[in-house]
Amino acid sequence: MEMDKRQVEIIPAILVKSRAEFEAKVALVAPFVSRVQIDIMDGKFVPNKTLQPGDFPAITSGLEAEYHLMVENPLDYVRMIGKKGAIYELHVESVKDVGAAIEEVKKLGGRVALAISPDTPVSSVEPYLPQIEHVLVMTVYPGFSGQKYLPAMEEKMRALSAKGAVVEVDGGIDIGTAKSAARAGATLLGVASGIFAKPDMKKAIEEMKKDAEG
């Protein structure tokens, strides 16, 4: 059964390997969105490696940041980033004690979301739903941009949404999959190539939002 259609937010996902590329991508989308997702990979938890926390320039004033930590020892990265009020998306697969990790991020002044890879069940995050901002359901295997959306993950979106969780999705989101994910209960859509591979960022974001809410 499909969920009711609802208002969604498009969140550009910034996956880069240099300061210049980071600044350029943020500048391209900053006028059209309120939040960006910054993908951080360590080459260990996932095979790819991105720009590391110490190399990030300041983010445009007024933009909310969420840091998708596809890394081993994510709490080390939360400390390195040190941005109070930011959302830190922790993969449950990389955290030994999820409850303790949530508390630690909050003590450091951050907000917490939990992320689950395609092979991880919803049950791994259910006990923590009252303590977190949202659940990030990966709709591809984490590590690389441009992968094909996995529609089987929509069952997770429905299950989490039915429990009152805010659901974000990330991976293979574009026209068509945006609508499908939104109907399954996702209200936050993380988008990389679906925006940055298009010639007109503003148009790409508007069309994706329209598709998701249509």
Pairing of strands 35-41, 188-191: unpaired
Maximum alpha-carbon separation in the chain: 45
Answer yes or no: 39 catalytic: yes
Round to whole Å and give the CA distance between 172 and 157: 15
Which residue reads 């994706």 in tokens? 208
Instruction: Give catalytic status of residue 200 as yes or no.
Output: no
Instruction: Point out the catalytic residue in the list 39, 42, 174, 211.
Output: 39
- Single-letter amino acid, residue 54: G
Rounded Cα distance, 26 and 65, in Å: 11
d(CA 180, CA 53): 33
Q: What is the DSSP letter of 49?
A: B
DSSP letter, residue 124: G
Q: Alpha carbon of 178 to those of 27, 63, 152: distances in Å? A: 23, 22, 14
Identity of residue 127: P
**φ/ψ bin of 40: left (φ > 0), alpha (ψ from -120 to 50), beta (otherwise):** beta
Q: How far apart are CA 81 and CA 181, in angstroms?
A: 30
- The answer to whether 129 and 98 have CB atoms below 8 angstroms apart is no
The catalytic residue among 42, 170, 174, 211 is 170
Catalytic residues: 39, 170
